[in-house]
Homo-oligomer: A and B are copies of this chain.
Amino acid sequence: MPGSIDLLKEKGRRLRIHSLRATTAAGSGHPSSCLSAADLVSVIFFGEMRYDPRDPGNPENDRFILSKGHAAPLLYAAYAEAGILEESQLITLRRLDSDLEGHPTPRLPWVEVATGSLGQGLSAALGTALAARLDKLAYDTYALLGDGECAEGSVWEAAALASYYRVSNLYAVVDVNGLGQSQHTMHRFDVENFAEKFRAFGWHAVTVDGHDYSEIIDAFAKCRREGGPKPRVIVARTFKGKGVSMLENLEGWHGKPVPKQDLDAALAELSEPYGSDGFRPNPRPRPQREERAVDIDIVINRKIGESVATREAYGDALAKLVEKNDRIVALDGDTKNSTFSERLLERRPDRFFEMFIAEQNMVGVAAGMAARGMIPFVSTFAAFLTRAFDQIRMAGVSRANIKFCGSHVGVSIGEDGPSQMGLEDLAMFRPIPGSIILYPCDAVSAERLVAEAARVRAICYIRTTRPKAPVLYANDEQFPIGGSKIVRRSEEDRVTVIGAGITVHQALKAADTLASEGIRIRVIDAYSVKPVDGATILAAAKQTGGNLIVVEDHYEEGGLGDAVLNAVGNAARVLKLAVREIPRSGPPEALLEAYGISSKHIVQAVKSLL
């Protein structure tokens, strides 16, 4: 390995010094969490990883993910010692105008995904490791975890999948310092317990003294030699605050910087340098990579009136897109026959990843894949995407280019009942900054919107419906993000009804009923829930006496109704039809009726406004 033990020890010393200085200057941060892992990070960055500090874009750089994101100062210190950052930047930690944030975000080119919500880094690392395989690249991925965060179930989701997929280019390092935030951890220093858990989950596990450089170096060598097809974990026994006696292995120091007046004394304990040569990176050669634009020009071939579920159209669109684009992959949580992501599996099995019933990990892996330039389409029932809200939230912080598809939305799924119904998914995705939410009502718009989602660089959420619905649109109809479609209009429209998905069809049915009674209504398909087409809606409101009805198969809070309310402000009167209580099992049509969003209810609502 490049560099001697003295080099590594010297780097470790300097990593500690940087971490202490930066957090004391910031007046906040987690120096004790940095100090426990400094020796591990030194070996990883200056002994094991192969990367070109001058070239963050080299696809063959090894990847490092700081799962214990609160040790951010340690990461920044490693970047400085590698020549990636200027050492003078380190002192800007946590300042408003600094990219060295309290927890790492991809504002920094070397940070794959934002971390800081514990237990998510191993999933992201699995994602980048799988991306390496798909891209036929040789890089390894390293993830540094804390011991406390291994209580998070998402760690074990990632562990199970990594071993199932024989992801041997993945190295986890667990910093077992025995102390959590508010007290000791469950297992304290029992590194063998961690190792046994990982082994039971199919990993090759080695335990070490996390402050003994020889042991750490040997452990990596052992893993490379003996790991075989298994992912590798090094479980390291460490001390929080190691190297500074006022901190070392003492409770009460989590998240506390060394006070200014005590800093010199602390640094004095780290003042003996190790004589060594400098760090010499050992990057892999940069492969030629062609960046190709996403080709979304898919051919849609439906007949008006044909009965197709939008969830099925999602699958068809995915299959068409994967033929044209080598960055598109699909991930699904054992629902592929329901979400129809299986259509991509049938077309290109190498691009499909069965993630089993583990949605948190599925989303975290997608974030890692997106960081490596893939375009992951993640699907399951909309209700089960709530299982991964924290991962979705962090994907938002990462601005990860992930496309989500939630199927089986609303009461319209029928007899399976509320546990399977997505009724709060719009409320979940709307607050994610920069998110785009698309809710097609027919197969043509569904296919086109899946393609639009593939093209745009943003978190997208596509809502699909279980029951079949008639095709409304011509095959060459365009559906720009932020647009809408007026699907019924006349010169005598007295109310505008806005729907999306299944409620567009209910609204058209209501329009027919009302027309037979001499009442005309405008019907808008708000297929773009976010951004919502405020201009068209406001114009329609103006032309229909300020009368707007919004009807959605979603709870009343946070969905399409609120999107419209925000768009119109007080320029119109908005009547919201939505689900207002926990629904029960029953036939789909009966549930639409029971929960106030059927065509009958729309008719009544229109009449109530007139």
Contact = CB atoms under 8 A, between A and B. Distances in A.
Interface stretch (A113-121, A228-236, A259-267, A514-522): A113-121
Contacts of A568: 570
Contacts of A186: 160-161, 164, 356
Contact of A117 (B182, B384, B430): B384
Nearest to A566: B565
Interface string A371-383: 0000000000001
Count identical subunits in the complex. 2
A588 B357 CA distance: 40
B384 A334 contact: no
B181 A335 contact: yes
A411 to B, nearest CB: 11
Interface in A406-434: 414-420, 423-424, 427-428, 430-434
A357 B387 contact: no
A69 B566 contact: no
A580 to B, nearest CB: 7
A334 B415 contact: no
A181 B581 contact: no
A334 to B, nearest CB: 5
Interface in A148-191: 148-149, 151-157, 160-161, 164, 180-183, 185-186
A586 interface: yes
Given A151-B160, A584-B96, A101 B417 contact: yes
A348 interface: no
A91 to B, nearest CB: 14
A472 to B, nearest CB: 28
A419 B115 contact: yes
B427 A396 contact: no
Contacts of A580: 433
Contact of A585 (B96, B115, B424, B586): B96
A569 B573 contact: yes
Nearest to A573: B570
A424 B357 CA distance: 25
A230 to B, nearest CB: 14
Interface stretch (A43-51, A196-204, A278-286): A196-204
A539 interface: no
A75 interface: no
Chain A interface size, as a band, is 35 or more
B397 A390 contact: no
A311 interface: no
A157 B152 contact: yes
A148 B555 CA distance: 30
A536 interface: no
A447 interface: no
A383 B387 contact: no
Given A103-B419, A157-B151, A338-B182, A574 B570 contact: yes
Contacts of A332: 182
Interface string A333-368: 011111000100000000000101111110000000
A3 interface: no
B117 A387 contact: yes
A152 B149 contact: no
Nearest to A117: B419
Interface of A: 26-29, 69, 94-96, 98, 101-103, 105, 107, 114-119, 148-149, 151-157, 160-161, 164, 180-183, 185-186, 193, 196-197, 199-201, 332, 334-338, 342, 354, 356-361, 383-384, 386-387, 389-390, 393-394, 396-397, 399, 414-420, 423-424, 427-428, 430-434, 530, 546, 554-559, 562, 565-566, 568-574, 576, 580-582, 584-587, 590-591, 594
Given A116-B417, A386-B390, 15 more contacts: A69-B419, A94-B415, A101-B584, A102-B417, A102-B585, A151-B157, A151-B161, A152-B357, A153-B360, A180-B356, A183-B334, A183-B354, A397-B418, A397-B419, A557-B562
21 contacts: A27-B415, A94-B415, A95-B585, A101-B418, A102-B420, A102-B585, A105-B418, A151-B160, A153-B153, A153-B360, A181-B335, A182-B335, A183-B336, A197-B197, A200-B201, A359-B390, A386-B393, A389-B389, A430-B558, A431-B558, A569-B573
